Structure 1
Amino acid sequence: MDANNRGIDVRTVQVWFQANDNGISDKNIHWLARIFGCNDPVETSRWQSELKASKERLTTERRARRRVTTEPDREASGRVEGQMIRANESPGEIEAPLDQQELEYQKISLAGRAECLFLDGAPFGMVVTMWASVAVLLYIGYLLGAHDVTYSPVKDVEKQVGLFWSPNWLLDKLVWLPLIVFTVSSLVTSWKEQWRPLMVAESSDTTQSCSWDEKLALYSSSFVGITLVCFFIVFLLQWYGSYLQPLMQNDAGSRVIDWLLISIERPDVMSANQGMAASMYANLLSGIAYWYCFSGLMLLYIVSMDFKDISGRLRTGMKSNKSLEVLHIADSIVSGIFRCAVFSLLASIGIKLVAVYLMTDSENLMRWLVLDAGALIDVNDVSWTWFDKNPSASITSFFVMFIPVFVFFLCASQIRGSVRSLLTAKRAGNGDSIGPVGAAAKNTMKTWLSWAGVILLLVVNFWLIGRFTGFSVLLLTSCCAALFCVAGSQTSHATRDLMRKEELREAHGK
Structure 2
Amino acid sequence: MFRNGKLFVPPPRDGSDFKELFKRLAAAGAGRPAGKHGFPAGPWTPELLAEAISQIDSNPVGVDLRTVQLWFQENEKGVSAANIRWLARIFGCDDPVATREWQMALSAAQSKLSAKRREWKRAGSGIGLAVPEMPRTASSNDGSEPSAELTRHDEANGSRQRLSLARKSEALFSQGSSLDLPVSVFAGFTALGFLSYIFGIHDATYSRPDGVVKQVGFLWTANWTSVFMVFLPLFFAFVTELVTFWKNEGRRKLVVQGDREGSDDAWARTVESTSYSYWSVFSICVLFAGLFQWMGVSLIPLMKGGGSYATDWGSLAIVRPEVISVPAAIVFTGLAYLYMSLCFYLFFVGLILLYTLIHDLRTIGRSTSNLPVFDHQSELKEASLRVMQGVFRCTILGVLIAIVMKVQSAYLTSRGENIVAWLVGDMTSAFYERNEVSAGITYRRPTHYSSLLIAVSTCFVFLYGAIRLGVEHRFGIPLWSMSAVVALLFAGYLLIDEFDGFSILLSIGVLLAIFCLLNPGWRASK
What TM-score, normalized to structure 2?
Answer: 0.72
How many angstroms apart in 1 are the aligned matches of 2:345 and 2:284? 9
Which residue in the other structure is 1:71 paired with?
none
Q: Select which of 311, 323, 329 maps to 1:269.
A: 323
Whole-angstrom distance in 1 between the partners of 2:297 and 2:486: 29
CA RMSD of aligned residues (A): 4.0
Residues 141 and 119 of structure 1, relative CA distance in 2, 3 Å threshold: same
Q: 8 Å contact 2:516–2:522 — kept in the other structure? A: no
Please say if residues 8 and 28 of structure 1, whose CA atoms lie closer than 8 Å, have aligned partners that are also in contact.
Answer: no
Cα deviations by residue, 1:1-35 (Å, 9 ceiling, x for unpaired): 9874375537979xxxxxxx96451369998xx9x
- Structure with the greater alpha carbon radius of gyration: 2
Matched, 1:9 2:63: no
TM-superposition CA deviations, 1:375-432 (whole Å, max 9, x none): 2233988644210212242343122212111111123212235305xxxxxxxxxxxx
Q: Distance in 2 between matches of 1:311 and 1:381?
A: 55
- State whether structure 2 residue 420 is matched by structure 1 residue 413: no
> How far is the alpha carbon of 1:373 from its aligned partner?
1.1
CA distance in 1, matches of 2:135, 2:406: 62
Q: Deviations over 1:224-281 (max 9, x none)?
A: 11111111122112111111121121112x2111001011111111122211111111
Quick check: 2:82–2:368 contact (8 Å CA) kept in 1?
Answer: no
CA deviation map 1:194-215 (0-9, x unaligned) = 222222259xxxx999811221
Hey, what's the Cα distance between the residues in 1 that align with 2:513 and 2:323? 40
Match of 1:107 in 2: 160
Quick one: structure 1 residues 492 and 232, their matched pair in 2 at CA, closer, same or farther if it must change by over 3 Å? same
2:221 paired with 1:166: yes
Q: 1:301 aligns with which of 335, 338, 355?
A: 355
Report the Cα distance in structure 2 between the residues aligned to 1:391 and 1:9, rounded to whole angstroms: 69
1:122, distance to aligned residue in structure 2 (A): 4.5
| Closer, same or farther: CA 186–309 of 1 in aligned 2, 3 Å | same
CA distance in 2, matches of 1:90, 1:320: 32
For residues 315 and 251 of structure 1, do their structure 2 counterparts lie closer, same or farther at Cα, with a shift above 3 Å needed? closer
What is the CA distance between 1:154 and its match in structure 2? 3.2
Of the structure 1 ranges 185-194 and 351-360, higher mean CA displacement relative to structure 2 is found in 185-194
* Higher mean C-alpha deviation, range 129-138 or range 319-328: 319-328
AA paired with 1:9? S
Q: Tell me, which stretches of 5 or more residues in structure 1 are unaligned?
A: 14-20, 66-73, 421-440, 496-510
CA deviation vs aligned residue, 1:326-380 (integer Å, no higher than 9, x gap): 1221121111111111101111111110100000121111111111112223398
1:475 aligns with 2:503: no
Distance 2:179 2:418 in 1: 34
Match of 2:230 among 166, 175, 189: 175
Q: Which amino acid aligns with 2:489?
A: L
Q: 1:462 aligns with which of 489, 493, 504?
A: 493
- Alignment of 1:372 with 2:426, yes or no, is yes
Q: Residues 375 and 381 of structure 1 are in contact (CA less than 8 Å); yes or no, is this contact kept in structure 2?
A: yes
Give aligned pairs, total: 429
The aligned amino acid for 1:349 is I
Q: Find the partner of 1:88 among 133, 145, 151.
A: 133
CA contact (8 A) 2:82 2:255 kept: no
Which of the pair is proportionally richer in helix? 1
Give, in angstroms, the shift of residue 148 of structure 1: 0.8
* Corresponding residue of 2:400: 346
Aligned-pair distance for 1:474?
A: 0.9
Task: Say if 2:207 is the partner of 1:149.
Answer: no
By how many angstroms is 1:173 displaced? 1.3
Question: Does the aligned pair in 2 maintain the 1:239–1:283 contact within 8 Å?
Answer: yes
Q: Which residue of 2 aligns with 1:26?
A: 79
Q: Is 2:516 the counterpart of 1:485?
A: yes
Partner of 2:332: 278
Q: 1:10 to 1:235 in 2, by over 3 A?
A: closer
Greater alpha carbon shift after TM alignment, 97-106 vs 399-408 = 97-106
Query: What residue is the counterpart of 1:429 in the other structure?
Result: none
Is the Cα contact below 8 Å between 1:332 and 1:491 reproduced in 2?
A: no
Letter in 1 for 2:172: L
TM-score, normalisation: structure 1: 0.74
For the structure 1 residues 103 and 475, does the alpha-carbon distance in structure 2 shift closer, same or farther, using more than 3 Å as the test? Answer: same
Look up the match of 1:290. 344
Q: Is the 8 A contact 2:76 2:127 kept in 1?
A: no
**2:415–2:437 Cα contact (<8 Å) kept:** no
Once the two structures are superposed, the pairs formed by residues 328-347 of structure 1 within 5 Å of their partners are: 328-347=382-401
Which residue of the partner structure matches residue 91 of structure 2?
Answer: none
User: What is the rounded CA distance, in whole Å, between the counterparts of 2:337 and 2:318 in structure 1?
Assistant: 19
Q: Secondary structure at the match of 1:151?
A: strand
Q: 1:3 to 1:346 in 2, by over 3 A?
A: farther
Letter in 2 for 1:485: C
* Shift in alpha-carbon separation, 1:290–1:90, aligned structure 2, 3 A: farther
